[in-house]
Chain A
Amino acid sequence: MMQTEKVLHLKSSRGGKVRVVREHYVREQVECGSWLCEAGCVSDGKLLSGDVTHYVVPDAGVVRDFLEVLEFRELQGIVFTQTACQAAHHARGRRHYNRLRALLKDPRHDCILFANEFQQYSYCPREKGETQEKWHTRCVYHAAVWYYNHLAGLRPVVMITEDEDAIKEYGSQNSGTFSNFLLEYLESFWPDLQAARELYASIAQALQERESEGAEKEYTEHLPAEVLEAGIKSGRYIQGTLSVNKHRAQHEAFVRFEGSSNKNTELNSDILISGGKHRNRAIHGDVVAVELLPHSEWKGRTTALTEGQGEERAGEDTQSQPMPTGRVVGIVQRNWRDYVVTFPPREELKSQSRNSQKILVIPWDYRIPKIRISTQQAEALQDHRVIVRVDSWDSTSLYPNGHTVRVLGKAGELEAEIQTILVENCIHVPPFSEAQLREMPVNSKEQPWQMGPAEVSSRRDLRDTHLVFSIDPLGCEDVDDTLSVCTLPGGKRLELGVHIADVTHFVKEGSLTDLEARSRATTYYLADRRYDMLPAVLSADLCSLLGGVDRYAMSVLWELDVETLALCNVWYGRTLIRSSYQLHYELAQSLLNGEEVEVPELSQLKSSDKSQKLAELLQALETLTRVARLLRAQRDKVGALELEGVEVRAQLDKDKNIAALVPKQPLEVHETVAECMIYANHWVARKIQESFPHQALLRHHPPPRQEFFNQLIDSAKSRGFMIDTRSNKALAESLDWAVDPQDALVNKLLRMMATQAMSNALYFSTGACPEEQYYHYGLALDRYTHFTSPIRRYADIIVHRLLMAAIQSEKDEYLHKTLASNKELDELAQHINNKNRAAQHAQKQSTELFQCLYFRDKDPLMDERCVADAIIYAIRANGMLVFLPRYGMKGAVYLKNRDSQVISVGDDGKCKWQVGTLQRYPDRISTFTAIGTHTFHLFDHVTVRISVEPSRCHADSMHLELISNKPHRAARAESHPAGHGQSELVQEVVRREEKASLQAEEQKARRPKLSREEREFRQSKTPNLYSLLQEISELALLDLSVYTNDSCQRSLLKC
């Protein structure tokens, strides 16, 4: 048998002081995980690279407290010892440990785990009377020595510790193995890594502060985990996710309980947590355990609109029905992330910082409490946006403790604000690393990319047989879908084809690009830029199905009957295509309408050829339209919903609310293309679900809860429409009926409300859901997935792989790679869902940001553009919510101000503030003043004035003021086509920002130039380390004497 030796471990587990004896086996062969190893260690995992000057071994204390510093990718050759990892696990809990594990698994980080305690010669038993810390440090040091000897002294090994005694003791015990403080280590080995040192300083200070803390209790203690678990099981406590009301962050929070584990049937709503004491240190997003309060203490939720931010009156006046109210007794799972905060200005600083350097900073997100950090840079950082991490929140402290991580920039600057939005949504998009780009195929002028002969022979060649074309928005770079349609020989059958870019050919599973794409999960579209999921060489070139070049594709081909269009046959597979035409929507529509337009691909040809080709193309387009109409009709019959605009149907995950509502010119060809894509998605979903019943990635849209439709039904009733929400078919039909002939916007708003009432469509793994839940409510399809946009969605890449595996397994059974298991796939689906949600939020927030920037410099009283028409879509206790069609904005209008004055309307329609009262009805709101009574109904048009309410710590917000109860009819509004409002707005802000940066360029050295380059590469000007170092090195090359260290400092601060 194997050579094992037994060593005894003494352990006393808590609660009863039991002596537990555990076995411990050690062995000689423990893989070291280094590339340099000559001893023949077998290792299948990742290896430490050999091209580093030394290896570094952090001790237990460093891993426990300073893991974040070690997370810098620039630090290479880190050997985590098992001792340190387990000590960290023990001291900081599972979350910390999982983070460490993720780090170890990530192939982009050069670090490995060495199981030192299982190595016969590096293991050292604890001596009598030795403290645990000392023992850990000794273990780690022994491991470091062993590691050095194991590699035959090829690389020196440095142990980093925060323990002074250890350095004294081990400092010069062995040659080749050194020990050092973390800070000294960073300074001497990584002098360029300023950010790491700053992070170190901030963590160290936070630690110090925590030690010297008082002991007044502000909150009740949390219950221990065992008690919570038992309580949740018995139904005494309720487990759920805490979500804080954004508008009354200090007073109201709700707990949404999960699953059906709850036996309390009387609870069918969320649980209200009122006030900070009851919330008991839980932060938005945490999973908490809640105990219900007695019925007598239940409260209602507030229905009034809050005026402005910051002033939250705990007014008892306007509360709804009492609802279940509870208090947090314990926290099951902390879900802290990085928060963006703003440092207070100097005046506030002075009053705050009488004692020590503790500063209360205000998070950007309203829902997060103020965070106490200790730093010496407060002066320099005032009015900056800074990333902060929360360390702890003791019951003795009113606010959580945290430390600073990175500075984003000055509040109010476009870049800083965009970065803020990204961080707040947990979106991490560094530029693609060199290692990733090295994986990419090359396609340059000198070295054009060519198809491999093996690929050519194994794929079905459609280049000469099929007329393939793409229809996309104008100026689109990443063409991931093309179409073809033709009549098969014999004339009885029609062949419809959808050809999708074959991304999986270039992105191999497990490659660095794949991992990066997986962690991004989607391409992020912000108002003025986008962050690609795949490097540009793929997304805009090799994968993109551009016109006139040979490309790989994944195709779905249907054979349809010419007359009835009934389905006869489906074929899936890899193909070669050459797109003949790269059309855009407007062009395609004009062709269909029979207008005389120039097709760019045909402009070179002679007129005879040209007309023939044009006829061919036209024929194809017309057939396509006919097919799409029929497909659409089929789906309509079973209840597909038309929810405001193409976006909602085709890509529910993107800009659902605002952009979709901008009245754009809906072309039939939009629908045609979307319909073909839905068809392809549907058939691929069927295929992979059949082949892999337990591990296919599909997308479902759960039916909405009926009570969410109440607002829609009530609103519609006020205009005399009946909305039937019992099924998707009934809803679709009744929405079609609810059209006001005078006002097309009414129908739009109703559809918008219907959309809001629905839950989001989600990805899932088929093994994780019963079959009846596969249904897609919005599209009325029993199976659906995403297949058609692999360039910008990671889910499509997975589906492509699944489809390929399905095809392969049909051909030959044994050629079957192991697929992701149901569990893994389900986790991945959750991850993609989360990222999609984040992308959606980021996009919405960036749009709002641009709106605010647009209106910021306009004088609301003078500028005509600040006055706009608005339509009322909801009534609240002290005001109403309105929608501004011109800017695609939603907002609140107050009818009552702080001095309890209300709006009164004069004879000419002008509004004034007057003393009076307010009366609210379900479908209208009335003001009573000395002048008279005025009533605002739902769906009335009013005129509002837009101004920006600046906010230092949070995002600026829009303020709407009622100026007239008549619809606004500006002379210009007609002439300038609505719908461009949004993009025009973005352009103007970008223009202005660029102008400002140009001016800055004249004053300061070369910075903006770099950023322009970056914009060219479609990457952000993230103040990342790479660009910083790059910049510094460039500066150094230019003139050493001029650009001294000083300028580096300045540019560092600037970021």
Chain B
Amino acid sequence: MAGLELLSDQGYRLDGRRAAELRKVQARMGVFAQADGSAYIEQGNTRALAVVYGPHEVRGSRSKTLHDRAVINCQYSMATFSTAERKRRPHGDRKSSEMSLHLKQTFEAAVLTQLYPRSQIDIYVKILQSDGGNYSACVNAATLALVDAGIPMRDYVCACTAGFVEDTPLADLCHAEESGGGTTLALALLPRSENIALVQMDARLHQDHLDALMEAAMMACKGLSKVLDSVVRQHLQEVSVLTRE
């Protein structure tokens, strides 16, 4: 019974984008000096901050240590001011733990963990402002932070959401679209090999439509990977200019 018209007859979405268009992406790497790697990303109004420590010795209980590869530890949290109504608990609730787990799975698929046996890599992500696509913003930010930390990966991990409204797949949903009652699919992709790191969908969807939806999400991820790549290159340029002096 949603009153909003998610896709107008002319093909415009609520915020003026067309079905396959992404939101504006801006990103910065190396925002903090203390951490091994850090990055900040804005996807539309969703803002995320990622910090990476490691690889380092396994802290806490030794039993977690893996002998052939590194342990990846993820923690996801949302700032209390990130949503329209103030959040009570920034992390540790069910949603956050689930998200942490998803992030861990995603990066275990992408980071070359076998290069660092018996060690640990920490990834901390915080959503500063939430406007839909939290997971994908986190993944993209963490990717940049990992790059900043110099941890070898198979490829960028690019994540994006896609939804399905009136027989049309929409890329990169905003909050209004996500809560509009349609199906949402989140996809994390290694764009060059087109390997899927993680795909998640909770709602029902007819199987005939799945291919179209996946296709749209893949296209969106590839688009994002170009943006991330240019961010990394620019950052590299800036850093190399500094070091040369």
Q: Which residues of A contact B (CB under 8 A)?
A: 1-2, 4, 6, 16, 18-27, 31, 45, 82, 89, 94, 101, 104-105, 113, 115, 117-118, 225, 229, 821
Which residues of B lie under 8 Å from residue A225 when comparing CB positions?
A: 1
> What is the bound-complex CA distance between A94 and B1, given in angstroms?
11
What's the minimum C-beta distance from A11 to chain B, rounded to whole angstroms?
Answer: 10
CA A118 to CA B11, docked complex, whole Å: 12
**Stretch of B18-26, B50-58, B150-158, B196-204 lying at the A interface:** B18-26
Partner of B3, one of A6, A94, A105, A118: A94
Q: Quick check: is B67 within 8 A (CB to CB) of the other chain?
A: no
B10 within 8 A of A: yes
- Within the complex, which residue of A6, A20, A101 is in contact with B24, where a contact is CB–CB below 8 Å? A6
> CB within 8 A of A26: which of B1, B10, B16?
B16
Cβ contacts B142-156/A at 8 Å (1 or 0 each): 000000000000000
The smallest beta-carbon distance between B161 and chain A, in angstroms, is 15
A25 to B5, CA, bound (A): 16
- Which residue of the partner chain, among B9, B15, B84, B226, contacts A25 with CB atoms under 8 Å? B15
Distance of B133 from chain A, by nearest CB (Å) = 12
Which A residues are in CB contact (< 8 Å) with B84? 18-20
Question: B11-47 vs A: 1/0 string, CB under 8 Å?
Answer: 0101111000111100000000000000000001100
Contact of B45 among A23, A27, A82, A105 (CB under 8 A): A23
Supply 29 A–B pairs (Cβ within 8 Å), ascending by A.
A1-B22, A1-B223, A1-B227, A4-B24, A6-B44, A16-B85, A18-B84, A18-B85, A19-B84, A20-B84, A22-B14, A22-B176, A23-B44, A23-B45, A24-B16, A25-B16, A25-B24, A27-B16, A31-B10, A45-B9, A45-B10, A94-B3, A101-B9, A113-B8, A115-B8, A118-B12, A225-B1, A229-B1, A821-B167
Given contacts A4-B24, A229-B1, contact A23 B15 (CB under 8 A): yes
Bound-complex Cα distance A115 to B18 (A)? 12
Cα–Cα distance between A4 and B17 once the two chains are bound (Å): 9
Instruction: Give A21 to B9 CA distance when docked, in angstroms.
Output: 24
Contact A117 B85 (CB under 8 A): no
A101's nearest neighbour on chain B, judged by CB, is B9
**B44: A residues at CB distance < 8 A:** 6, 23
Q: Report if A24-B15 is in contact (Cβ < 8 Å); known contacts: A1-B227, A225-B1.
A: yes
Q: Taking CB as reference atom, which chain A residue is nearest B26? A: A6
- Which residues from B are CB-within-8-Å of A229? 1
A4 to B15 Cα, complex, angstroms: 11
A2-B21, A18-B85, A24-B15 given; 11 more Cβ-contact pairs under 8 Å: A1-B226, A19-B84, A21-B131, A22-B174, A23-B45, A23-B131, A25-B15, A94-B3, A115-B12, A117-B16, A821-B167
Q: Are A25 and B17 in contact, with the CB atoms below 8 A?
A: yes
Residue of A nearest to B3 (CB): A94
Q: A462–B44 Cα gap in the complex (Å)?
A: 67
Q: Tell me the complex Cα distance, A104–B5, Å.
A: 16
Known: A101-B9, A113-B10. A22 touches B15 (CB 8 A): yes
Distance in angstroms from A599 CB to nearest chain B CB is: 56
**Lowest 3 A-B CB distances belong to which pairs?**
A25-B16, A118-B16, A18-B84
Q: How far is the CA of A1 from the CA of B21 in the complex (A)?
A: 9
Bound CA–CA A24/B176 (angstroms): 12
Docked pose: A133 CA to B24 CA in angstroms: 31
Docked complex Cα distance between A712 and B31 (Å): 85
Question: Are A113 and B9 in contact, with the CB atoms below 8 A?
Answer: yes
The chain B residue with its CB closest to the CB of A43 is: B10
List the A side residues contacting B85 at CB < 8 Å. Answer: 16, 18
State how many angstroms separate the Cβ of B19 from the closest Cβ of chain A: 12
Question: A residues within 8 A CB of B24?
Answer: 4, 6, 23, 25
* Chain A residues closer than 8 Å to B8, beta-carbon distance: 82, 113, 115
Which chain A positions have C-beta within 8 A of B22?
1
Bound: A569/B198 CA distance, A:
54
**What B residues does A101 contact at CB under 8 A?**
9
Contacts of A1 in B (CB 8 A): 22, 223, 226-227
Instruction: For the complex, give the distance between the alpha carbons of A117 and B15 in Å.
Output: 10
| A162–B23 CA distance with the chains assembled, in angstroms | 38
Please report the C-alpha to C-alpha distance between residue A26 and residue B15 in the assembled complex, in whole angstroms. 9
Query: What is the minimal beta-carbon distance from A89 to any residue of chain B, in angstroms?
Result: 8
Q: In the complex, what distance in Å separates the CA atom of A268 from the CA atom of B224?
A: 57
Known A-B contacts A18-B84, A27-B16, A229-B1; the reply to A105 vs B23 at CB < 8 A is no
Q: Contacts A1-B227, A16-B85, A118-B16 hold; do A23 and B10 have CB atoms under 8 A apart?
A: no
In the complex, A198→B10 CA distance in Å? 33
B127 to chain A, nearest CB (A): 15
Contacts of B45 in A (CB 8 A): 21-23
B114 to chain A, nearest CB (A): 36
Shortest Cβ distance from B20 into A: residue: A2
Distance in Å: Cβ of B26 to nearest Cβ of chain A: 10
- Given A21-B45, A23-B45, A104-B131 contact (CB < 8 Å): no
Q: In the bound complex, do residue A23 and residue B23 qualify as a contact, i.e. CB atoms below 8 Å apart? A: yes
Q: How far is the CB of B197 from chain A (nearest CB, A)?
A: 23
A residues less than 8 Å from B17 (CB atoms)? 4, 25
Among B84, B167, B223, the one with the most A-chain Cβ atoms within 10 Å of its Cβ is: B84
Most buried by A among B15, B85, B223: B15
Q: Report A-chain residues with C-beta under 8 Å of the C-beta of B3.
A: 94
Closest to A31 in B: B10
- A181 vs B67: C-alpha distance when bound (angstroms): 81
Bound form: Cα–Cα A117–B12 in Å: 11
B178: min CB distance to chain A, Å: 13
B228 to chain A, nearest CB (A): 12
Residues from chain B with Cβ under 8 Å of A23 in the complex = 15, 23-24, 44-45, 131, 174
Closest to A114 in B: B10
Instruction: Tell me whether B9 and A105 are in contact (CB under 8 A).
Output: yes
User: Smallest CB–CB gap between A29 and chain B, Å?
Assistant: 11
CA distance A104 to B21 in the complex (A): 25
Q: In the assembled complex, how far is the CB of residue B191 from the closest CB belonging to chain A, in whole angstroms?
A: 15
Chain A residues lying within 8 Å of B9, measured Cβ to Cβ, are: 45, 101, 104-105, 113
Cα distance A25–B17 in the bound complex, in angstroms: 6
CB neighbours of B14 from chain A (8 A): 22
Nearest B residue to A16 via CB reads B85
Most buried by B among A6, A16, A24, A113: A6
Chain A residues with CB below 8 A from B5, complex form: 89
Q: A6: nearest residue on chain B (CB-CB)? A: B24
Bound-state CA distance A101–B84 (Å) is 32
Chain B residues with CB under 8 Å of A94's CB are 3
Distance between Cα atoms of A22 and B23 in the complex (Å): 12
**Shortest distance from the beta carbon of A24 to any chain B beta carbon, whole Å:** 6
> How far is B11's CA from A27's CA once the two chains are assembled, in angstroms?
14
The CA-CA distance from A104 to B9 in the complex, in Å, is: 9
A19 CA to B16 CA in the complex, in Å?
Answer: 20
Complex CA distance for A113 and B11, rounded to whole angstroms: 12
Question: Shortest beta-carbon distance, B108 to chain A, in Å?
Answer: 30
CB B147 to nearest CB in A, in angstroms, measures: 20
Contacts of A82 in B (CB 8 A): 8
Q: How far is the CA of A45 from the CA of B10 in the complex (A)?
A: 8
A31 to B44, CA, bound (A): 24
By a CB distance below 8 angstroms, the chain B residues around A2 are 21
Residue from B44, B174, B223 having most chain A Cβ neighbours under 10 A? B44
CB-based nearest B residue for A22? B15
Give CA–CA (A23, B22) in the complex, Å. 12
Bound CA span A2–B226, Å: 13
Residue of A nearest to B25 (CB): A1
Q: Which residues of B contact A6 (CB under 8 A)?
A: 24, 44
Contacts of A18 in B (CB 8 A): 84-85
Could you tell me the distance between the alpha carbons of A803 and B81 in the complex, rounded to whole angstroms?
61
Which residue in chain B gives the minimum CB-CB distance to A26? B16
Tell me which residues across on chain A come within 8 A of B16, comparing CB atoms. Answer: 24-27, 115, 117-118
Closest to B13 in A: A25
Interface bits B78-92 vs A (CB < 8 Å: 1, else 0): 000000110000000
